[in-house]
Structure 1
Amino acid sequence: MSDRHSTSVHLNSKRNYMILITVIIAAGLSQGLLLPVLSILLEQKGVTSSINGLNAAALYIGSFGMTLVAERTLGAIGFKKLIAAGLSLVFVSLLLFPLLPGVKAWFLLRLLVGIGDAAINYAAQLWVLLMTPSEHRGRNISLYGMSYGLGFSLGPLGISLLRFGQAAPFLVIAFLFLLVLLLVAAKLPDSHPEKVAGGEGQARRFGRSYSLAWYALIPALLYGYMEASLNSNFPVYGLRIGYTADQIAALLPFAGIGGLLLQLPLGIWSDRYGRQKILILSGVGGGLAFALLPLAADRFLPTLVLLMFAGGLVGSFFSLGLSFAADILPRNLLPAANVVSSFHYSIGSILGPGVGGLLLEYGWGSGVFALMGLLYIMFGLMGLLFSPRQQI
């Protein structure tokens, strides 16, 4: 399987699958920790919410840049080397955060983390997607999504480590990344994706992916917007309406916990009843929950319930959308669809903190969640107009 010309996209053992799961948990941890911790530190330094939001978007600008070259880079160096390079870049950046404090330095470091995380996510999710049979796609991709969600949900708990000093959260996650990097280097097989037959250009493959599966590619955009906005804007919103940092650290994971609880059931139901139906129902239900969130104000339990319900319904959006795209598209378009999904995720993640930061800047904190809810409800209704075309 180490031969460059072999089709090395199938996981050969449970060990290799568990290594990929461990990798994606680490990627989720880094993003889940950095967004709220850095937002809180910048807020405490007196940085405006709009600048705070733009700084958070740097991570996804880096991710966006990596997405543009991900397919070619993976073809050149293979799955293992791309994952290892991503882990190394995030590890070094985490060590530098406490050594280089300041808005400008953190912007640059977030760019590097975004590049590293995008490399990890692109290689790992494509590897899993290509090896999964269609009849188990919803279940298997949901398990992958659950792993990322687990890491992302645990990340905000790093806020509590700030009591041991500003460097503590970064050093703890950096140590975990080092362990995962050593595991990948020692145990993950060196493998490459199969080459695209027929010499079809990248731009044309992107265009065909859009024309056949546009509805299945939108969930990644919405998921990125929600994830980044919630984790970068909610800490600022929460501090302003009266929550303490510890309360915010306790609340934020519940959006991810909801996603973890429903990720696998939604994946199984999508295999049984159809992914389009599940996406429509989840979008409308999750959108309503987000729109109602401001009504909870500073009441802890109602906020927790709404976050958990909303996160549970839309926490599977990226994986469900990618699975739906894989149902619709021919196999040779799956790498291109994976790039498009990552591209959409990055765009949504860039927009989320920036738009939310502006709404907070102008005193409409509840607008962060009203807008988020509206976007999900609109997506759900759009699903009534989408008819998948036959694979070509």
Structure 2
Amino acid sequence: MAENAVGWLEKDDGGVVGGPLIEAGPTGRGLGAARALLVGMLFIQVGGGLQGVLLGVRTESEGFGLAVSGIVMASFFFGFLIGTRLAEHFLAAVGHIRVFAALASMASGVSILHLLWINPTAWALLRLVFGVCIAGVLVVVESWLNDMATNATRGRLLSMYMVSSMGGLTLGQLLLNGGDPEGFELFVISSVLISAALVPITLSATSAPPLTVPEPLSMRQLISLAPLGVLTALCAGISHGTVLGVGAVYAAYEGLSTSRIALFLVSATAGAIAFQWPLGSVSDRVSRRAVIFVVAAAAASIAGILPLVEPGSALSLFLMFCFGGMTFPLYSLAMAFAGDRVPTSQLNGASAALVRTAGFGSIIGPVIGGVVMALTAPWTFFLVLVGAHAVIVVYTGWRIVARDGIPVDQQGEWVPWPMRASAMAVNLLRRPPRPFSRNGGSGPGKAV
């Protein structure tokens, strides 16, 4: 056996054994050292989750209008998309700790500045800056975790990363009940939580790692190898951006109380946590395309039923729980689907491209949702979600009929992947087997 160019052990017959050869560093990095990073990330996600739902409620009470509110909330995702690239540049220039401290401090200040300029243009710009900061912070955390990870700890680190990401977002949404959205207290709480993230990071004794940027892969190449993965990531981004961006706006316009607005959003993210692993496990045992088809069809059906249910009722919250459990795992399924078809040397680049694809979808989702609600009625929020998943259903069904799929025993291993992640998190993925080739053996994948 020999180590190949990307650090995977290759058998003499070309097979792959194990995962990336990443050694624990001399400073004793591991699960213990990663806790400071994950605690810091948890504070960031809680503060960011609170700010997102708070601003969604305030845009309604300030009379911004549905279409304008959608643009304001979409600005975060635009900032997030460009923030990963900026963070890579700053990391190479000044290092991890300085970048984290600078961006977390800026994000904390931005939270307070919303109180000084209450108008759509100012809030859109502030949301954009906040998105840049949060993206940069996650790049720091993810690249640091990658450097700490070994083959023995990789799976646990990824699980802890998922809990910090989705759990923090859920806790932040619940904190909407901690004060009056019309006052200043919740903005202050958001700012304090983000500032608190600086404590475990700056006091950590762990040395900062070198920066490793994934090798790029063109979108044209990725589409030729895994068109269904690209489409699923795009539509999943539209759905997630709509829910997280204008979900609170919709709930506020429907007249839900503060506690019900929080529960409306928490139900979706809680469903994501509950369904993520079971659906991923199923996708390792049956055709991945079939799982994507069924999950997208279920999400579209649930979104179609929700307008018929009383907003904020126990039934609507249960349906949102089920909807979140269907829509959020689609992004991880898209990642796994593409991983089955992309050559080993291009896996990192493919994952980075899918991150950008989903990010673009997250930008246009809130804009479309806000405009559609403004032109019709708030309940058409769900029609945007139906449409995004219907596109996946139709295209996946056509591909299943028109093209042969990869045998189940040649599929890679599914791993969870949060939407709010950058391309730096790609190395936390456990490597699947080599992709299925045109002749049925190992080698470059074929589009299916």
Normalising by structure 1, we get a TM-score of 0.82
* Deviation sequence 1:16-59 (CA, Å, 0-9, x none): 44344334434433442223211221211222111111111111
Please identify, of 300-309 and 57-66, the stretch whose mean Cα deviation from structure 2 is larger.
57-66
* Deviation sequence 1:98-156 (CA, Å, 0-9, x none): 2343322222211111101222334545666795869x87x875653343221222222
The residue number in structure 2 matching 1:176 is 193
Asked if structure 1 preserves the Cα contact closer than 8 Å seen for 2:246 and 2:370, the reply is yes
Please identify, of 65-74 and 296-305, the stretch whose mean Cα deviation from structure 2 is larger.
65-74
Distance apart, 1:313 and its partner CA: 1.6
The code of the aligned residue for 2:239 comes to M
Picking from 304, 322, 339, the partner of 2:317 is: 304
1:190 is the counterpart of 2:203: no
1:144 is the counterpart of 2:166: no
2 CA distance for matches of 1:240 and 1:68? 36
1 CA distance for matches of 2:140 and 2:352? 10
* Pairing of 1:17-36 with structure 2 (within 5 A): 17-36=34-53
1:337 is the counterpart of 2:350: yes
Asked if structure 1 preserves the Cα contact closer than 8 Å seen for 2:81 and 2:360, the reply is yes
The residue number in structure 2 matching 1:46 is 63
1 CA distance for matches of 2:213 and 2:123? 38
Asked if structure 2 preserves the Cα contact closer than 8 Å seen for 1:291 and 1:369, the reply is yes
Distance apart, 1:296 and its partner CA: 0.7
1 CA distance for matches of 2:296 and 2:69? 28
Please identify, of 67-76 and 88-97, the stretch whose mean Cα deviation from structure 2 is larger.
67-76
Number of corresponding residues: 380
Q: Secondary structure at the match of 2:180?
A: helix
The residue number in structure 2 matching 1:4 is none
* Pairing of 1:61-210 with structure 2 (within 5 A): 61-69=78-86, 82-125=99-142, 131=149, 141=158, 144-163=161-180, 166-187=183-204, 188-194=206-212, 202=216, 205-210=218-223
Normalising by structure 2, we get a TM-score of 0.73
2 CA distance for matches of 1:74 and 1:151? 25
Distance apart, 1:290 and its partner CA: 1.4
* Higher RCO structure (Cα 8 Å, ≥6 apart): 1
The code of the aligned residue for 1:237 comes to Y
1 CA distance for matches of 2:360 and 2:210? 27
Query: Does the C-alpha gap of structure 1 residues 325 and 74 become closer, same or farther in structure 2, counting only changes over 3 Å?
Result: farther
Query: Does the C-alpha gap of structure 1 residues 175 and 220 become closer, same or farther in structure 2, counting only changes over 3 Å?
Result: farther
The residue number in structure 2 matching 1:352 is 365
The code of the aligned residue for 2:207 comes to P
Distance apart, 1:258 and its partner CA: 0.8
The residue number in structure 1 matching 2:16 is none
The residue number in structure 1 matching 2:273 is 260
1 CA distance for matches of 2:330 and 2:139? 16
Asked if structure 2 preserves the Cα contact closer than 8 Å seen for 1:62 and 1:113, the reply is yes
Asked if structure 1 preserves the Cα contact closer than 8 Å seen for 2:23 and 2:150, the reply is no
2 CA distance for matches of 1:89 and 1:249? 26
Distance apart, 1:66 and its partner CA: 2.0
Asked if structure 2 preserves the Cα contact closer than 8 Å seen for 1:266 and 1:316, the reply is yes
Asked if structure 1 preserves the Cα contact closer than 8 Å seen for 2:237 and 2:360, the reply is yes
The code of the aligned residue for 1:313 comes to M
Asked if structure 2 preserves the Cα contact closer than 8 Å seen for 1:8 and 1:192, the reply is no
Query: Does the C-alpha gap of structure 1 residues 364 and 132 become closer, same or farther in structure 2, counting only changes over 3 Å?
Result: farther
2 CA distance for matches of 1:170 and 1:10? 40
2 CA distance for matches of 1:82 and 1:268? 37
Asked if structure 2 preserves the Cα contact closer than 8 Å seen for 1:255 and 1:307, the reply is yes
Asked if structure 2 preserves the Cα contact closer than 8 Å seen for 1:237 and 1:365, the reply is yes
The code of the aligned residue for 2:68 comes to I
Bigger helix share: 1
* Deviation sequence 1:53-73 (CA, Å, 0-9, x none): 111111112112224445555
Query: Does the C-alpha gap of structure 1 residues 142 and 365 become closer, same or farther in structure 2, counting only changes over 3 Å?
Result: farther
**Uncovered stretches (5+) of structure 2, i.e. residues with no partner:** 1-20, 406-434, 438-442
CA-based RMSD: 3.4
Please identify, of 109-118 and 293-302, the stretch whose mean Cα deviation from structure 2 is larger.
293-302
The code of the aligned residue for 2:259 comes to D
Distance apart, 1:15 and its partner CA: 2.1
Q: Secondary structure at the match of 1:163?
A: coil
